[in-house]
Amino acid sequence: MSLEFIVGRAGSGKTFTCLERIRQELRSHPQGAPILYIVPEQMTFQSEYALATTDGLKGMIRAQVYSFTRLAWKVLQETGGLSRQYIDGIGMQMLLRKLTEHHKHAFHMYGKVADQAGFIQQLEQMLVEMKRHCISTTQLENLLQQHKQTERKDQKLIDKLEDILLIYKDLEKEIHSKYIDSEDYLKLLAEKIVDSTYIADAEIIVDGFHSFTPQELFVLKALLTHAKKVSVALTLDQTYDDKLPTELHMFYGTAKTYQKIRSLAKQESVPVLPALWLDGSLGRHRENPQLQHLEKNYHRWPILPFSECKDSKASKVLKASINIAAAVNRRAEIEAVARDIIKKVRDEGYRYREIAIVTRNYEVYGDVLANIFKEYEIPIFIDQKKTMLNHPLIEFIRSSLETVTGNWKYDAIFRSVKTDFYLDFEQAMCKQKQREELDVLENYVLAKGISGSHRWNSEQPWRYAKKDSLESDIVYSLEDQQQEHLINIWRIRIATLLSNLENGLNKATLGKELCAALYQFLVELQVPEKIYTWQQEQEASGELVNARQHEQAWKSVVELLDQLVEIVGDQEVSLDLFVKMMESGIENLRFNLVPPALDQVLMANFDLSRLTNIRCTYIIGINEGVIPAKVKEDGMITEEEREYLKNTGLELAPSYRSRLMEEPFTIYNTLTSASDFLWISYPLADEEGKTLLPSSVISHCKELFPAIEEQFIVADPGEEVEERQLSYIVHPKPTISYLTNQLRQWKKGYTISPVWWDAYNWFASIGDLHDEKWKRAIDSLFYKNVESKLPHELIDKMYGKKIVASVSRMERYSACPFSQFLSHGLKVKEREIYKLQNPDIGRLFHEALKRVGQYIIEHGLRWADLSETECRELSERIVEQLAPKLQSEILLSSQRNQYILRKLKAVVSRATIIISQQAKGSGFSPKGFEVEFGPNVPIAFDPIALTKGHTMDLIGRIDRIDQAIVSGESLLRIVDYKSSMKALDLTELYYGLALQMITYLDVVVACSKHWLGEQAAPAGVLYFHVHNPLIQSNRPMTKEQLEQELYKSFRMKGYVLADPEVARAMDPSLADEGYVRSHIVPVALKKDGQFDSRSAVMSNMEFDALRKHVRETIQHIGNQLVDGNITITPYRLKQKTPCSYCPYPSICHFDCSLEENQYRILKPITDQQTLLEKLRGDSDDSSK
C-alpha cells in the first residue's frame, strides 16, 4: 500500500507520464498484476484509444481504463452486489414523480410548484447531491430538529428541508432493497473493495480529476488501503503538504484536493511517497515559448508581457501560435474558424482529430457550427448529449398520450399525425402522397373546428359539403364526394388506433398493464419496423449519426417502459400519474453518441470536457458574462442556505462563491489545452444585432501578448482589404456564396477584387463538378422578382372570351395586379380556420338586415311602421335562424361565442331600430335588399368591350337600393352596410381602389328603365355603419338624450345630390328653419337653405363624371387583364399599402430592397374640386 502524487502545471506531461508508465509495464510485464487507469467518464474513450494505438504493444489485457462507475460494475461482478435492479437517472425521475404526486399536498414549500416543468429534475439533482456528499436522511432529520430549537430559526429553510426529507425517506424505502443507482454503486464499491482480489493486486493510476465528491473520496480511501499502489495526478504549481494557498489562488481547489487525499492516507497509515514533480520539460508546450508563457504567467500579477514580442522572428512564430479575433457576429466567427481549420489541415499537415473547438454556449453555437462545418466538409463530433424530445418517436408518444387524455384536441392529434407513423410504409402509394392526403384531413378538421373523441369516433361519416353563403343551399360536387371518402378513410384509421390506445389505458389498473397498452399501440402501428426502415435509409445515405439516433430512440423507449414496469408494475397507478411519470422520463432521454469516425474535429464543452492530444484549440464565444461565467442560482437551496448547512457540518456541492473562485482555473486549463496553436475569439453582436462585449480574458491575453494584433472578422469578404480577400477562398461551396455576393456588388457598379474573377473563371472551367450550386448561384445574379405577361392562349383558358368579374376584383387588381392573378386566376385561397372573424360577422349583418327587409316587404309593411319592440324581436329571431348556418355552428360552439351571439343580436336590433327611425318621414323607401346585378338577372349591365375580342360582365350584390320621387323625378340612392366605420375616399376612387359605390350607382341608374320601369337619376351613395355604439358622456343624461346621441352616431357617410329638396327628402328635419345639421346624412343646411361648406354633396354633373371615370377605369383594368399584365406592383398611398393585409407575401416575395420591387406611389387628392379637375383633364386627354 502506498500513495504517490504526480503533480505539475497544465501541459507539464502528467497524462503522458501516466500512459507511458502503463505502456512500459505492458511491454516489460504483459501478464503482470492489473493496472487500473481511472479517469473521468468523458476521458475514457480517448484514454483507451491512446493505449490501444501504442506502437509495438501486442495487447493490453493487463491494463484497463475505468471511470468510477465502470470500476464499480467490475468490482461488484467479482464480489457480488448486483442483485438489485439498476435504476438510472430517468428511472429515478419517474420514481420521484410518483412520490411527489403522492406527497405534494403535504408539502410546506413546494406544493404549488411540484407540477411545474423542471421541478423533478431539480429535486433529483438535490437528492443526488446529498447522496454524493454522504448526507443521510438521519443526518438531515437531526439537523432539522437542531435548527427548529435555535432562536433565529429560518422557517423557509425548515419548510424546504422537511419537503426534501419527506421525499428522501420514501425514496430510500423504495430503492433500499430493490434498486440501486449510480450513487449507491460508489457507496457499495467502497464497501466491497476490501473483498476484491482484483483490487488487492492492482496498481491504480487516477488522472484527469481536479476534485472529488465525498463518495469518490471514500472509494479512494478504500483503494489506498487495499490496492498495491495508488498514483494520483493533479494540476498544481507546487505540492502543498502543510499549508493551503489563499482561496483566491488559482490552484486553491486542486491544492485542497491534494491535502484531502494526503489526509486520507495518513488516517489509514498508508505511506505517502515523494511526489513526482513534472517541470514541463517533456510537456506539450516545451517547443512553443508563447503558449509556455501563457501557461506560466496567466495567473501572475502584475502582468508580465511576453519578453520576446519585440523580436521579429519571435513575432512571426507568435502569430502562428496565438490568434485573437473579434467577429461581427457568431456566424462570421464560426466561418473564420472553419477557414482556418482547413488551412491547418491542408497546408500545415494537421489531422482533424488534433483540433478541438471549445465553447460554453452550446445552445447558441451547436446547430450553426454543425451546418457551417457541413458546408465546408469538415468532419466534426459535437460532444454533447442531445435531447430526444425532437425525435419523431418521442413526439409521437407524447402527442398520442396527450390526445387520449386531453379530449382529442386538434394540436395533439396532428402533432402525432405529422410524425409519419400513421403512414403505411408498405403501401404502393408513396409516402408523400399519403402526407398530402393527411393535409386534406387537417384542413378539413381546421375548417370545421373538430375536437373531441365523440366527433372523431362518430358513426356518421364526416360530410365534405361546402356552403357558398348563409342563404345558399349545400353545394355537393363530385370532387367533394371524393374528398369526403378520402378524409373518412384516414379519420377512421387514426381514430381506431387512438381509440384502441385510449381503451387499453382506461381498462388498465396496474402499472405494467398501462405500459403494455402503450407498447401494444406502438406495435399495432408497426413502429419498430418503421424505425428500422428509417435507420436503413439513413445508413444507405451515409447519415450514420442519424441512423444511430433512430436505433437509440426505440431502445430508450423500451428501456423506459421496462423501468416503469420495475417501479410500479404491480401497483395500482392512475392514468394521470402514468402520463406524468412518462413525461418525466421522456424529458430526460438523451442520445449517447460515439464518434462515427476517428479523424474528426471535436466540439467540446468548456466546463466538462477533458482534452488530450490536442494540437490546436479554438475557443469561441468569449464574451462578458459567458467566460468567466455568471453563476446562476437555480437550485432548491439558496447560497445562504448552503453556507448555513456547511457551517452545521452538512456540506453540499460548491456554493456560488466557490464556483466563482474555480473559474480562473477552468479558464487556465482550457487556454493551455493545445500544444501548437490557440485561437480565442468573440462576436460583437448576436443574431438580433444586440451588442455583445468581450470577456476580460480577451483583454488579459492582449496584455500578456501586446504584439498580437486583434483580427477583425467580417461576414462579407468585400469589406476586407484586397490582400486578405483571398483567405476567404478555401472551399468551393462557401466560395460560391461569397462569389455570388461579390458579383452582385459588381452588377450594382462597384469594383471587386480580381481574385473573384479568378474564382469565377475557375468555376466556369471545371464543368459539372459543382454544377448544380454554381448554376443556381449564377441564375440568382440575373434573377429579377418580376412576372412576365401571361400568353394569350393561357388567358383564354383561364378567363375565357367572356370574363365575369366583380367590382372587388377590379379593386384588387388596382391594388396589385399579381394579387388579383393569385386570387382569381390561380384561385389561391387561405387555409380555412374554424374561427369567428370579421368577414363572418359582416356576412351575418348583411343577411340579417336583408331578411328583415324582405319580411317587411312580404308582410306589406313599411320600415317606419315598426315599433322598437318589433324591430328587436324580429332582428333577434332572424339572427337566431342564421346562427347555426354560420361556419358549422361556430356561434353555438362555446360559451364565449354564445356571448358574442348575444352581442350580435343587440347590434342587428339597434341597426334595425335606427333604420326604422330614419325611415319615419323620409321620402326614400327601400326598393330592394341584397340586389344582384349581372347576366341573367333583372339588373343586367351592358357587357364591357375589351381588346382582343374579349368582353366583361360585371356582377355584384347591392345591400340596399332606396327610391324617392322628388319634383316629379325618380331618384335612387345606394346604401351599403359596413361593420366598421367607412367613408368614400375620393383619392382611392380616382386610382381604382374604391370603385364599388359609384359602380353600384351607375348600374342601377343606367339600368333603371329596364328593372324599375322608369328612368332614374342618382341621389347619392351612403355607408351605414352597423354597430351598437357605447355613448360616453361627462354629465348625466336622460333616456331621451341617450337615444338622441345613439341616433346621431348612425349618421351615414358618403355623398348626396347637391339639391336641398333631395336632402330634405332624406331627412325631414332639414325642413326646419335656421341652420340645421342632419343626423341621417352628411349634410347641413344654412339659414338661406343652401348647403354649408362641410356638406358632402355632388352635383349631377359631378356624379356623371365619377360614373364615367369608373366605367373607363374598369374597362382599362379589363384590358390589362386580357393583356396578361400580372406585375407585382402594389400601391402606396401615404402609409397605406395592400401588402399589410395581403395573404400572399410568401408567394410574391415582394422586397423593397430589390430595384425591381418598388411601390407605385399614389399622390393624394386633397379635395373634391381637385378630383373633378383631374377627371376633366383625363377626359380631355382620352378624347384627344
> Which residue numbers belong to the known binding site for [4Fe-4S] cluster?
816, 1139, 1142, 1148
* Side-chain-side CA neighbours of residue 162 (13 Å): 15
Using DSSP, state whether 982 is helix, strand or coil. coil
Q: How far is CA 294 from the centre of its chain?
A: 42
Q: How far is CA 323 from the centre of its chain?
A: 35
Asked if residues 986 and 1162 have their Cβ atoms less than 8 Å apart, the reply is no
Report the distance separating Cα 694 and Cα 692, nearest Å: 7
Helix spans in 2-154 (H): 14-28, 44-52, 68-79, 89-103, 119-132, 137-149
Nearest alpha carbon to residue 401 among 580, 637, 274:
580
Unique residue bearing C-alpha cell 491512446? 50
Helix (H) or strand (E) holding 683: strand 677-683
Nearest alpha carbon to residue 375 among 31, 756, 106, 734:
734
Count helices and strands (H / E) in the chain.
45, 29
Nearest alpha carbon to residue 255 among 211, 288, 291:
211
Q: Which residues contact 714 (CB under 8 A, 6 or more apart)?
A: 327, 328, 332, 720
- For 628, the grid coordinates are 468567466
- In 739-892, the DSSP E strands lie at 802-806
- In 934-1026, the DSSP E strands lie at 944-945, 951-966, 969-978, 1017-1025
- Write the DSSP string, 175-229: HTTTEE-HHHHHHHHHHHGGG-HHHHT-EEEE-S-S---HHHHHHHHHHHHHSSE
- Write the DSSP string, 705-752: -TTPPPEEE-SSGGGS-HHHHGGG-SSHHHHHHHHHHHHHHHHTT---
Q: Which residues contact 958 (CB under 8 A, 6 or more apart)?
A: 928, 930, 931, 932, 933, 974, 976, 1000, 1003, 1004
Hey, how many other C-beta atoms are within 10 angstroms of the C-beta on 922?
19
Packing angle between helix 392-405 and helix 527-540, nearest 10 degrees? 150
Report the distance separating Cα 455 and Cα 448, nearest Å: 11
Is omega for the bond preceding 1143 within 30 degrees of 0, making it cis? Answer: no
Phi, psi of 569 (to 5 degrees): -55, -45
Nearest alpha carbon to residue 74 among 197, 183, 175, 238:
197
Asked if residues 1153 and 987 have their Cβ atoms less than 8 Å apart, the reply is no
Point out which residues pair with 952 in neighbouring strands: 803, 944
**CB under 8 Å, gap of 24 or more: what pairs does 63-67 form?**
63/22, 63/25, 63/26, 63/34, 63/35, 63/36, 63/37, 64/34, 64/35, 64/36, 64/37, 65/37, 65/39, 66/36, 66/37, 66/38, 66/39, 67/38, 67/39, 67/40, 67/41
The amino acid occupying position 961 is: I
Asked if residues 1098 and 1001 have their Cβ atoms less than 8 Å apart, the reply is no
**Known binding-site positions:** 816, 1139, 1142, 1148
Asked if residues 1124 and 798 have their Cβ atoms less than 8 Å apart, the reply is no
Phi, psi of 925 (to 5 degrees): -135, 150
Residues of the chain by 3-state class (helix, strand, coil), percent to 5: 50, 15, 35
Packing angle between helix 527-540 and helix 544-568, nearest 10 degrees? 160
* Side-chain-side CA neighbours of residue 712 (13 Å): 6
Report the distance separating Cα 350 and Cα 30, nearest Å: 33
